[in-house]
């Protein structure tokens, strides 16, 4: 999977994204956005979601968080969306020892290390990665 060259489809700082606009831009992947959002709330009902405008270069992005940290970021693109998750050392150990897709393990192993942990970004253009992302969400919530 290649790096995401896209930018948010929502670039106007004065206009917060809404569900009809999101569905229009995501097209057939809107259902996967909803599945992942619903999955987080199923696993962690006290989660909070928030649209944030980052900059003129990146536009709007959506995150779902617990009290202290982001669980997952969802960034809308034209016809797809990008998921971003950050994993600390204990979660990474679990992922490396589990039956996750080899691409996920390799991406995390080779990824840049940040103070919060290692980052993985997955483009959702169809249902290929949805189950893996759900598993990653479960790990994130466990650690």
Summarised one tens digit per residue, pLDDT across range 28-74 is: 999 999 999 999 999 999 999 999 998 888 899 999 999 889 999 99
Domains in the chain, CATH or no CATH each: 19-142 (3.90.1150)
Residue 2 confidence (pLDDT) above 50: no
Partners of 72 in beta bridges: 64
Q: What are the pLDDT digits (tens) for 86-130? A: 999 999 999 999 999 999 999 999 988 999 999 999 999 999 999
**What number of other Cβ atoms are within 10 A of residue 41's Cβ?**
13
Instruction: Let me know: does 122 contact 133? Beta carbons within 8 Å.
Output: yes
pTM of the model: 0.92
Q: In the prediction, which pLDDT does 95 show?
A: 98
Instruction: Let me know: does 30 contact 126? Beta carbons within 8 Å.
Output: no
Instruction: Let me know: does 77 contact 4? Beta carbons within 8 Å.
Output: yes
Residue 3 confidence (pLDDT) above 60: no
Residue 4 confidence (pLDDT) above 80: no
Residues counted in the chain: 143
């Amino acid at each position: 999977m290649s790096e995401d060259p896209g930018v948010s489809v929502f670039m106007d700082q004065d206009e917060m994204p809404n569900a009809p606009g999101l569905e229009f831009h995501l097209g057939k992947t809107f259902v996967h956005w909803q599945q992942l959002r619903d999955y987080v709330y199923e696993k962690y009902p006290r989660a909070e979601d928030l649209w944030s405008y980052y900059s003129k270069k990146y536009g709007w992005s959506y995150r779902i968080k617990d009290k202290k940290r982001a669980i997952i970021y969802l960034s809308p693109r034209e016809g797809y969306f990008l998921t971003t998750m950050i994993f600390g050392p204990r979660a990474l150990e679990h992922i490396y020892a589990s039956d996750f897709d080899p691409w996920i393990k390799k991406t995390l192993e080779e990824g840049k290390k940040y103070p919060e942990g290692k980052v993985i970004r997955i483009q959702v253009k169809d249902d290929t990665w949805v189950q893996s992302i759900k598993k990653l969400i479960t790990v994130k919530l466990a650690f």
